[in-house]
Every structure is written in C-alpha cells, then in structure tokens.
Structure 1
Amino acid sequence: MMMHAGLWTFLYYTLFLASVLLPVRTVAESTTVISNVVSQSIESESLDDDLCFESEEEALPDNPSSEELFFSFLDTPHQVISSGVEIFAKSLDEFFSEDKVFYDASGTYLRLRADAVRDENGDINYTGDVRLKLRLPNTKKKLKFTIESDADKRRDNTSAQTESTPRQAVKEKDYFAGFQISLGKEKSWQFKPSIGLRLNSGVELYTRLRLKRRYKFEKWSIHLDETPFWFNSTGVGLDSYLEFNRKISKDDLFRASTFARWTNKTDYVQFSQTFFMFHTLSKRRAMFYYVSVNDVSKSNVFEKSYLIGSTYRQNIHKGYLFVELIPQIRYQEKNDFRAEYSLTLRLEIIFKK
C-alpha cells in the first residue's frame, strides 16, 4: 500500500510542477493549436483524405452555422456523436504529433525531437528523433520519400513510449530511408506499401505493407492497423494494432489500444495493452495519463512489465514548437517488480506543408 501511495504522490507532484513551471501564453500572443487542428483535420493538406471517412450522404457542411449544427444533431444524433469522437481523437493525435499522423500525411512533414532523460539513479542522457516525409511531384500525392529514425518501432507514438526503458530510449538509433505509396479507397481498406534501406552499422533492405481501416460504432471510433514486414536480418513479421476511442466530455477522451508483434526468425513475440485518458487543459495545453501492461517472450523466456505514466504537452510558439514533460514509473518482472522512476523533458519542432 505504501508503494502505491508513493507512486501516485510522485505523479501528482510531477504534473503539478509541470502546470506551474510551463506558463500558458495568452491567445493574443500566439495561435490556438487544438481549436485550429480540428478544422485542419478536415481542410488541411497535411492529412490524407482518408482521415475524413464519412460518406457523402453523412458528411456535415463544410462551414455549418450553429443553427444547422443544432438541427443536424436533432435529426441524426448517432452521426454527430460518431463524427465528433473521430474529429476529437484526430485533433488530439495531431496536437501530440502521433506517429500515425506522420504516416497519414499527404504533404511534406518534418518532426524533430530532442529528449533529456533522467533515470532513477540521477543520470541524465540525451537522445533525439527525426521524421521526414517529402511528397514527390507529379504523383497525385500518392508517392512519398521518407527518412525516419527507429522506423521499426510501432506506429503509435503514445503507445511506443510505454515499452522502452530510459536506457533503451537513449541507445544508438537506426535510420531508415525509403519510398511509400498510398492506395485504396477512403471508405474501405487503405494500402501503404513501402520499400527502403535500414542504415546502422551496415545497409539492410526492408519492405513493409501497411493496411489500415477506420470504423464507427455507436459512440466509439475504431482504428485497425495491420503491418506485415520483412527485414533482411530478421525475416518476416507482423505488427497488429487495434485502437478504441470514446469521447467522455468536451475536454476528455478515453482510448484503449492493443499492440502485438511477431517475428519468425528470432522467435520473438511482443504484446501490450494500454489505457489512456486524454484531457485538454486549454487551447494550447493538453495531457494524458496511461497504464500499460507489456509482455515479451524470447526463446522461451517471458518478461512482463507494468507502467504508469503521463505526458504533459504545451505549444510554446506559433503551433510548431512544443515542450513535453513525461514522468514514468515502471515495474519489471526481471527486477522483481521494483519501482523504477524516470523523467523525460522533450523539445519538439514540427514543420508541415
């Protein structure tokens, strides 16, 4: 009981310090990110058309008046609620610059990150991350050139950070360069095959086929992502990702995500289940809390770990410069489930066109 009390006390005071130390600028000083990103999810060229997957008969007017929205809600409550969940989830994904936003972007997109990670021993390590996508001309927005660091990790950034320990997060990164093409219809499956080179100590060929689809069911939005892949060193494998979103209030979103990875050559199986609660604090600040269970099996050796953490994010300049504070507490079976604390400070720059 004392361990759990200390755990929550640690999280509470860390998040309190975040809200105090990272002041909020007024709307007059800079743009309002979250409110703008909702409209950008529909109009901006930075996302594929498949992100707005309502049929023509169901789509709301481009610029509906308050009166039209009111009567539309009375006429079709199911449609409005479902669309609201999807738009809210997409706006949060954009604000937190989820990896899925990078992979779905139809235009040029660049994301740079610099992290300072402090572990429980007081050691501070530094790491970074880069994502670059260039839309090639005369390809009808279908063919893109990409450069990424650690592209073999999962496609969902919020879930990916629940798997690596602080020491793993600052290890030497691999870089990937390749081409991706977008196929399929927005109301059905989307296909995104890619081929490229993995650049580490040597050069390794890889190929990947990403299949994705979105559904709406009652008050839930559902995102399914299947990615079979092949690497020259590890052979074939499969990443499977399933996500459920539900809007709790105008400021809160609940998300449950399940991820599984299988590789043939290395006899490697990885599974994780994560629950998130997103909360918008203002037009330029948001945060989410999460609890995660991770299970990994390698060569008949099973490792289980639990993670509790949160991410506080604030736009500090004109919608492209962000800062994050990420406290985590991890319990690993190999360490007898002893509490391991870490704190990450992240600076992020995003350019998109």
Structure 2
Amino acid sequence: MIFCKDALLFAGCLILSAPLMASGPESDKSLEEESHQVSQDDGGSWWQSAHQSVSETVDSWSRNIDMFLSGNKQALSNKSYMRLRFGPILSEDGADGFFDFNARLKLPNTKDRLRLVIESDGDHLTSDNETTETSRDSSVANSVANSNVSAAVRYIKKSWGADFDGGVLLAFPLNPFLRTRFSQGEQYERWRWYQQEEAFAYYTEGTGLRYKLGYAHQLGEDFQYGGRFGTTWFAQDDEIYYREDIFLKQTINERNKLLYQLSFLQAEGDDTNGNSFLYFVDYSRLLHKNWLIGHVKPQMTYEADENYRADFSLTLSLEILFGKPYLVPK
C-alpha cells in the first residue's frame, strides 16, 4: 500500500509537470518578449542588478588573483564562474532544505595551469553513498549555516591528464587537505568514454582512493544515454562504497531538458553494510537568459536499512550562475 501511494504521488508530479515540459518555441518566444517588455518599462529589476553586480565581482576577483599569482600586470579575459543551487526537499517526513555553491576562478595568465576552487561541501569526500542532496538539512538557512567551505589551489598538468589540489577546510581548527586526480578519455563519433583515478588525504577526515568510469552515446540531436560506475575506499575505517548510474538525457527544446536516472548503491564495512537503489526524473527549465535555471525532481528511494520501503521525495530548486559568461552586455 505504501508503494502504491508513493507511486501515485510520483506519477502525479509527472502529470502536473507535463504542461511545463510541453512548452514549445512559441511559448518560449512569448515569455522572452514579455520579459523584454517588462525590462523596457521599469529599466530592469533589483535581482537582475544584483546578478550583474555579483558577476562583475567574480570577474574582477579572478582577474586580480590571476595578475597577482602570475606576476603579469595584463588582465586577460577568462571564464571564471560561481554557481548557487538551493531549494526545498518535500517528503512524507516533512520539508527540508539544501544549499550548495561552488566557484571556479580560472587564471589564464598562468598558462591555464592554476584554478582557485571554492566549494560548500568541502568535507564531503564521495558521491558514491549519496541518495539525496549532500547539504540536506532542516531548512535552507540551516544548510547555509552548516556548510563546511573549502578553498583550494588546483594545479593542472594537461600533458599528464592530471590535476593536483592543495587547500583547507575553512572551519576551526583549519583542516588542510591534498587531492590528486588523473583523467583519461576519448570521443569517437557519437561515443565518449572517460575514467578518473583519485587519491585524497585530509588532516581529520583521513585518506582514501576513488575510481570513476563512464560512457555516453549521443542518439540523434535530442537524446543521450550512458552509464557511470564509481567506487571509493576510505582507509581510516576500511569502508568501500560502490555506485552504478544508468541515465537518459532528453532535450525538449533550447529551454527545457529532462534527465532520467536509475542508480544502485552498495557499501561494505563494519557499519556500512547495506544496499539501496533509487530512480528520479530531473526536469530543468531555463527561466531567464542563460543564468537562472529551475529544477523539479521527483524521486523514489529504496534503502536496505528501511527494509526497502518506498520513500518518495520531491526536490524543487533554483540554480544561479555568476561570472563574465553570464553578464548582460551593456
């Protein structure tokens, strides 16, 4: 009975979102014309001005840091950006919230060898054990307050397919860490594959190894399918996590996209024995220009610890992108 109830809720969310997913080029065009008319009438809005200001700040910081670290006084154009994503997660147990952000400050004067990487989930070492948003908390505000931000300088060695991170978790006491990644991949016509090997060491979180392997095939202009496999080993507790994802991406039009995904998760260790699986549909819509994106994500989760009881959740989120690539020309 519980499964039937949750399945009906899942189907209901898809039905309710159908009118949105069916939006075609004509409705998108009318929305753009309406937005353009409003901007002409009131000269823009405070949230557009705020986005413009933050994007200019991100661009200014990246150029100044680039000149400082390289010793070159010439400011080069770059594609640095900052990404925010937040919203509520609705389930039978109530409403929670999440807040994630990350930034990539690219430094072209260093011959593209350096990046400054800032992330809000700096103490989260793997995605192979995730069944929901990493920063999930009782509310969005609590998620922001409990974010464990990390800042790292990334050195990139393109000829090796490698990058090296050195940074700290910005908590008290400071938690330094090192990460090393080696990546390989090829693309042949409509097929693409990649793999990545990683080693990490955190002062308080311990050391570990991670491996990822994935492939994707472009099926026409509107569909792409593929799979991913990942495993993470934590040396401190001798725990191993495995994850397999199977996905299908559908492009409805320039503004609307769908992601269908089925995931299997496994764990081995003294306190981590158990399997789970989940499936979800992530509908995303470009709401404004190229920097404001809305997401609707109904999900069903089945965990061994809950005797594989069906657990339905609905995640609603906004994604905001800042930086020079998202600035409105003046």
TM-score norm. by structure 2 comes to 0.74
Q: 1:72-124: per-residue Cα shift (whole Å, max 9, x none)?
A: xxxxxxxxxxxxxxxxxxxxxxxxxxxxxxxxxx7311101112111222x11
1:120 equivalent in structure 2: 92
* Superposed CA RMSD: 2.7
1:333 maps to amino acid: A
Residues 1:109 and 2:109 aligned together: no
Matched-pair contact (CA < 8 Å) for 1:243–1:257: yes
Measured in 1, the distance between the counterparts of 2:187 and 2:204 equals 39
Identify the residue that residue 18 of structure 2 maps to in structure 1.
Answer: 19
- Which residue among 278, 286, 294 is the counterpart of 2:249? 278
Match of 1:63 in 2: none
Pick from 131, 134, 151 the counterpart of residue 164 of structure 1: 131
Does 1:244 find its partner at 2:236?
no
1:153/1:225 CA distance change after superposition, 3 Å: farther
**Offset at 1:283?**
1.1
Match of 1:43 in 2: none
1:2-41 to structure 2, matched below 5 A, reads 9-20=8-19, 25-27=27-29, 29-30=31-32
User: CA 1:255–1:137 in 2, change beyond 3 Å: closer, same or farther?
Assistant: closer
Paired residues for 1:332-351 under 5 Å: 332-351=303-322
Task: Look up the SS of the partner of 2:13 in the other structure.
Answer: helix
Which whole-Å CA distance do the structure 1 matches of 2:136 and 2:106 have between them?
29
CA distance in 1, matches of 2:323, 2:212: 26
Q: State the partner residue of 2:296.
A: 325
Percentage identity across paired residues of the two chains: 24
Q: Does 1:183 align with 2:157?
A: yes
Shift of 1:29: 4.9
1:173 corresponds, among 132, 136, 147, to 147
Q: Measured at CA, do residues 252 and 8 of structure 1 come closer, stay the same or move farther in structure 2, by a change above 3 Å? A: farther
1:209 matched to 2:183? no
Deviation of 1:153 after TM superposition, in Å, equals 4.4
Once the two structures are superposed, what CA deviation does each residue of 1:209-248 show, in whole Å capped at 9, x if it has no partner? 1211212357521011222111111322112111110122
Give the whole-Å Cα distance in 1 for the aligned partners of 2:227 and 2:5. 26
Which AA in structure 2 matches 1:12? Answer: A
Q: CA deviation at 1:141?
A: 2.3
Q: Give the drift of 1:161.
A: 9.4
Query: 241-250 or 255-264, which moves further after superposition?
Result: 241-250
Instruction: Give, in whole Å, the separation in 2 of the partners of 1:28 and 1:181.
Output: 46
Alpha-carbon distance in 2 for matches of 1:152, 1:260: 18
| Secondary structure, aligned partner of 1:327 | strand
The 3 A distance-change label for structure 1 pair 280 and 6 is farther
Specify the code of the residue in structure 2 equivalent to 1:173: S
Task: Check whether the contact 1:246–1:254 (CA below 8 A) recurs between aligned residues.
Answer: yes
How far did residue 351 of structure 1 move?
A: 2.1
Shift of 1:328: 0.8
Do structure 1's residue 220 and structure 2's residue 220 form an aligned pair?
no
Structure 1 gaps, min length 5: 32-105
Q: Which residue number corresponds to residue 114 of structure 2?
A: 143
- 1:119-156 Cα shifts (integer Å, max 9, x gaps): 222x112221111122236312221212101145478x
State the match for 2:38 in structure 1. Answer: none
Q: Looking at CA atoms only, which structure, 1 or 2, has the larger radius of gyration? A: 2
Of stretches 141-150 and 251-260 in structure 1, the one that deviates more from structure 2 is 141-150
Amino acid at match of 2:225: F
Tell me which residue corresponds to 1:90: none
Task: Give 1:26 shift.
Answer: 2.1
**Deviation of the 1:276 alpha carbon:** 0.4
In structure 2, the CA distance between the partners of 1:300 and 1:127, relative to structure 1 (3 Å rule), is closer
**SS in structure 2 at match of 1:17:** helix
Q: Secondary structure at the match of 1:169?
A: coil
Unaligned runs of 5+ in 2: 34-77, 138-142, 325-330
Residue identity matched to 1:150: D
> Separation in 1 of the partners of 2:167 and 2:161?
20
In structure 1, C-alpha distance between the alignment counterparts of 2:225 and 2:281, rounded to whole Å: 14
